[in-house]
Amino acid sequence: MSRRLIQLIFFIVQNPFISNFLTGRPYNGPAKSFCAPGLHCYSCPSMAFGCPLGTIQYVIKYATMIPYLAIGTLAAFGSIFGSASCAYVCPFGFFQELLYSISPIKNDTAKLPSKFRYFKWGNLILLVIIVPAFGLAQGFCAWVCPSGLITAGIPIIAANEGLRSSIGITFYWKVALSILFLVLIFREKRAFCRYFCPLGLILGFFNKISLLQIKLNKDTCINCHACSKGCPMGLNLPEEINSIDCIKCGECVPACPPKIHALSREFEFVVPKKKKVKSEA
Amino acid sequence: MKRILIVSIILLISAIFILKAWIHEIDDYGTKEVNLVEAAGKNVCMSCIGLSDENVFEKIFGTDEEEPEDE
């Protein structure tokens, strides 16, 4: 099954209440007690589950405690799949890939300098943890998250006339920032994931130890870097395989020339069959 | 084998965390963390949709206006 099809299935599973866009009211059933491992605003009218990043900030800000539910959920997914849920489950990742596929300005080789990846760290440490911990705001949701604005803010404000009078400087700031993100997304594949997403970073912490691993056969690899060309995260492969920025999408595996076949993706608990050693008679 | 052991430990801790969120009461009113998560998800989050104009500088440094003193 292709990755795009799996993304579509997860997108439909997470967004079954499309008709809620007409009323501008989010679904508020029991599924909202669970976090889905992807960036998708829980205020989005069609969303069935909670956003782990929003939940982390909300619990830290209003209850001043460790967000056990979101961390437990992310650690469970991360320890098994690493950040593969970014590649298969995340609706905003899917949205970015669709936009890029129709983009007239896309550039497969475009890359901001790798130092821009530190924005992820800043977003996580400062906006997701420190700002809410001091009770100031849900920093990432309030000031940065384009998913919140695009999938929740604009549809809800469009459907509820009464909310329009509340539009202020924060809204205009988020609109300007989201336009900047959209330009980047049209130019670079998964640009928001590459440089800004703190959720991908949290899941990326588990990449080295997760059961799902991209394996490199160093004996057959000829360092042609053909795998780099297939990487939606713009990583320098094969050096950065399973790194904190890798989303384990597996696009690098078929990009490796068939005669070399140095890359594979497998679950660690599948024990390889031992070769029988012929005993000398 | 080492990887499987580490992942098993993380999964165990994750299960404890998720269980704690569902059964541990965080205040005298019997509120659990999962109730907070549910409340966050069921309401329109003003921060998320960009309508929360929270004055962070005011929160950090306080307001310029002084409270009137009682005479």
Q: Helices B33-42 and A52-63, interaxial angle, to 10°?
A: 120
Cα A34 to Cα A258: distance, rounded to the nearest angstrom: 42
User: What pLDDT band is residue B65 in, cutting at 50, 70 and 90?
Assistant: low
The distance of B70 to chain A (nearest Cα, Å) reads 30
User: In what helix (H) or strand (E) does residue A263 lie, and over which residues does it extend?
Assistant: strand A263-267
A268 touches chain B (CB under 8 A): yes
Q: What is the pLDDT of residue A279?
A: 47
Q: Which amino acid is present at B31?
A: T
Structure confidence by residue, pLDDT tens digits, A50-82:
899 999 999 998 888 899 999 999 999 999 999
How many cross-chain Cβ pairs, A to B, lie less than 8 Å apart? 172
Q: What is the pLDDT of residue A108?
A: 86
Q: What is the pLDDT of residue B56?
A: 67
Q: What is the pLDDT of residue B60?
A: 67
Residue A24 has pLDDT above 90, yes or no: no
Q: First vs last Cα of chain A: how many Å apart?
A: 48
**What domains, with CATH codes, occur in chain A?**
3-204 (no CATH), 211-268 (3.30.70.20)
Q: What is the pLDDT of residue B69?
A: 57
Nearest CA in chain B to A48: B41
pTM here is 0.88
Q: What is the pLDDT of residue A281?
A: 40
Q: What is the pLDDT of residue B70?
A: 56
Cβ separation of B47 and A166 shorter than 8 Å? Answer: no
Cα B22 to Cα B32: distance, rounded to the nearest angstrom: 6
> Quick one: average pLDDT of B42-67?
70
User: What pLDDT band is residue B66 in, cutting at 50, 70 and 90?
Assistant: low
Q: Of the candidates B16, B18, B47, which has its C-beta nearest A137's C-beta?
A: B47
Cα A145 to Cα A168: distance, rounded to the nearest angstrom: 16
Nearest CA in chain B to A68: B17
For residues A32 and A25, the answer to whether their CB atoms sit within 8 Å is no
Residue B53 has pLDDT above 70, yes or no: no
Residues of B in contact with A175 (CB under 8 A): 50
Mutate to test the interface with B, among A42, A46, A47, A270 (most CBs of B within 10 A): A42
